[in-house]
Chains A and B, each alone.
Chain A
């Protein structure tokens, strides 16, 4: 009696095992031949690019170009002096740009003069 009984139990157990094994065997591996290759590239830079002429241009050339290109500044919409003051304040307080206090009005003056 024990033989057939255990066989009855064993069959479903085997079926479950086969199912589990079937489910656990990974599906055809995605991108199985993919190998990651080391990368070495030059990302273009523009450290020598100056701001266009304008009032107090020396101040923006001195204080603004270490972290970012002048180019995006020059395609901003025309913004109020108050908005530019906020932008410069953000650079100093949040991003810790080392801009002397006395330079702030000059930078804002230049930015507000952009005729976009």
Chain B
């Protein structure tokens, strides 16, 4: 369980901030004095990175001040949003835990979790309400593992044109890890679903500061929850999860966007009806259309909760505007994901999609994993060279050539291009 002393301390400091707000500017000038004694120091920027975001602030600080994390792109301190630098994707298919991106909705995140007293509770429309210790979860069920991409619904939102509000991520709100845990199905079976179970709802230890604010909760349809693939993970890349990635338990929903991968999972509730909570019915909605695509300015269209991921690919060894040797083959390599199934092929174009060449695919680490691709492309004697990559998944879905768009900034799927310059260096 959480040690509530530390948690209530930080909650108190936020409450004082609210109270300070109520009394106006005088309260604000008084803030740092008490804040210093109650909270950890703010992160110090080591250096700055440019994410290449169009028509908006594009520079972000890099920080190594967050627990369990090496250098990360700082998108927001509180609640923390940390982006994985692109360089971390250029070293194999696995994203190291200490570079894996971080995204929280609410700031009441316990910094202390006691492995001995933590409990996962199952309740609601079940035969038996149960509470499981970590020991029971680790030793009471068959363990399984697989490699899967975890991608934020809003990954790459900072590249949306026209821009939309929200976290202005580059491409680094995703990562690929080997997840080890137990099947959600087996854990649910221990409690026993009653006939008529419709949704299974998940919540973690994180809380909103304001008591009336909607607690972050997400649901899966009962049949999805029982499919034997959805995992309650206790390990990420062979070790326990970093606190900021959801220690001690995290739901893993392979092929689906990360909004469903509830962190610090502590509560599973079986519902005899569709979940109507805010996070399922108002937030994380996308247009009911291929790639969630809709024209800017149109706002009358059917919506649905975001769900399955779509194919994507990124060149990871070249930077925008990089100078490359003229007249010699250029090695292009990167990562692809199939979305909700495997990668079938990745093609490269250097003429804005007029012609395509097949890239060589790297080792297959499973259908939900990143897969590397490589190809040497000819470079002209001079001028710019746009390098575009396109993934097609095993269901035959290809990344669209025209970029998709929606007002939530979700599901970016279109082909990405990095433009390099031939000659004059390299």
Q: Which residues of A are in contact with B by a Cβ distance under 8 Å?
A: 26, 29-31, 34, 36-50, 58, 61-63, 65-69, 71-72, 74-79, 83, 87, 94-98, 116
Contact = CB atoms under 8 A, between A and B. Distances in A.
Given A34-B240, A47-B35, A42 B67 contact: yes
B17 A66 contact: yes
A66 to B, nearest CB: 4
Given A42-B40, A76-B165, A71 B77 contact: yes
Contact of B114 (A38, A83, A96): A38
Name which of A47, A48, A67 has the most chain B CB atoms within 10 A of its CB.
A47
Interface string B102-119: 000001010111111000
A37 B115 contact: yes
A38 B138 CA distance: 15
A47 B13 contact: yes
Name which of B21, B74, B239 has the most chain A CB atoms within 10 A of its CB.
B21
A71 B209 contact: no
Contact of A41 (B60, B76, B243): B243
Per DSSP, are chain A's interface residues mostly helix, strand or loop, or mixed? loop
A78 B53 CA distance: 13
Contacts of B138: 34, 36
A75 B59 CA distance: 9
Contacts of B13: 45, 47
Given A31-B143, A40-B111, A45 B39 contact: yes
B21 A75 contact: no
Contact of B18 (A26, A40, A66, A116): A66
Nearest to A72: B76
A42 B111 contact: yes
A68 B145 contact: no
A97 B212 CA distance: 9
Contact of A98 (B10, B43, B210): B210
Interface stretch (B78-86, B91-99, B120-128): B78-86
* Count class of interface residues, chain B: 35 or more
B42 interface: yes
B113 A39 contact: yes
A94 B32 CA distance: 29
Interface in B29-72: 31-32, 35-36, 39-43, 55-57, 60, 65-68
B75 interface: yes
B402 interface: no
A66 B209 contact: yes
A87 B166 CA distance: 10
A43 B210 contact: no
A70 B138 CA distance: 41
Contact of A95 (B68, B210, B243): B210
14 contacts: A36-B240, A36-B247, A39-B243, A40-B112, A41-B68, A44-B41, A44-B77, A45-B40, A45-B42, A46-B43, A75-B168, A83-B165, A95-B210, A97-B210
A38 to B, nearest CB: 5
Contacts of A41: 67-68, 111-112, 243
B28 A62 contact: yes
B214 interface: yes
B383 interface: no
Contact of B65 (A44, A49, A50): A44
A30 B109 CA distance: 29
A91 B179 CA distance: 35
Contacts of A72: 75-76, 81, 167-168
Name which of A36, A72, A76, A94 has the most chain B CB atoms within 10 A of its CB.
A36
B300 interface: no
Given A36-B240, A41-B112, A47-B39, 6 more contacts: A34-B239, A38-B113, A44-B65, A61-B25, A78-B163, A95-B214
Contacts of A66: 14, 17-18, 21, 209
A42 B111 CA distance: 6
A76 B24 CA distance: 25
Contacts of B191: none
A36 B28 CA distance: 41
Given A31-B143, A71-B77, A49 B42 contact: yes
A63 B240 contact: no
Given A38-B113, A67-B210, A76 B56 contact: yes
A30 B239 CA distance: 11
A95 B56 contact: no
Contacts of B282: 94
Contact of A96 (B20, B35, B142, B212): B212
Contacts of B78: 44-47, 68-69
Nearest to B79: A68
